[in-house]
Structure 1
Amino acid sequence: MRLISVIRKTRNERRYTKKMGNFYTKVTYIKKAILGIPVRTLHKYRETYYGKVKDCETCNLAK
């Protein structure tokens, strides 16, 4: 077992943009893990309906 590893996990989340409003999308998280325990998120991105990959900073979490 490695001491430090990178974990990639995808899950469905509710997001909000001005153009589309509320929508559900698959968000992929890339996390750094020590001994299998996630420590911090390195990057997160989402895939659009058209197959483009966008950073999650462009859309806010819906409240």
Structure 2
Amino acid sequence: MKLITVKRETVEEKRFTPKMGELIAKVTYIKMLFLNIPIKTLHKYRETYYGEVKDCADCVLQA
């Protein structure tokens, strides 16, 4: 049994960009797990409306 694993999970989230406004994007999280308990998020990225893959740092999560 491995103690530390890496898991990829995709969820749909509402995002807000200044140019397009609100959109629903598929956000993929890459998380590090210790005994199936999430420790930290290593990376997250999203697929844009046009099919490009971008880092989530360039968009603001809508409150």
Interval containing the TM-score (normalised by the shorter chain): over 0.9
d(CA) in 2 for partners of 1:44 and 1:26? Answer: 10
Instruction: State percent identity of aligned pairs.
Output: 60
**4+ runs deviating over 4 angstroms:** none
- Structure 1: gaps (5+ residues): none
Question: One-letter code of the match for 1:46?
Answer: R
Question: One-letter code of the match for 1:52?
Answer: E
Q: Could you tell me the TM-score, scaled by structure 1's length?
A: 0.94
Report 1:1-63 matches (<5 A).
1-63=1-63
Q: C-alpha root-mean-square deviation of aligned residues, in Å? A: 0.7
- Structure 2: gaps (5+ residues): none
Question: One-letter code of the match for 2:4?
Answer: I
Q: Could you tell me the TM-score, scaled by structure 2's length?
A: 0.94
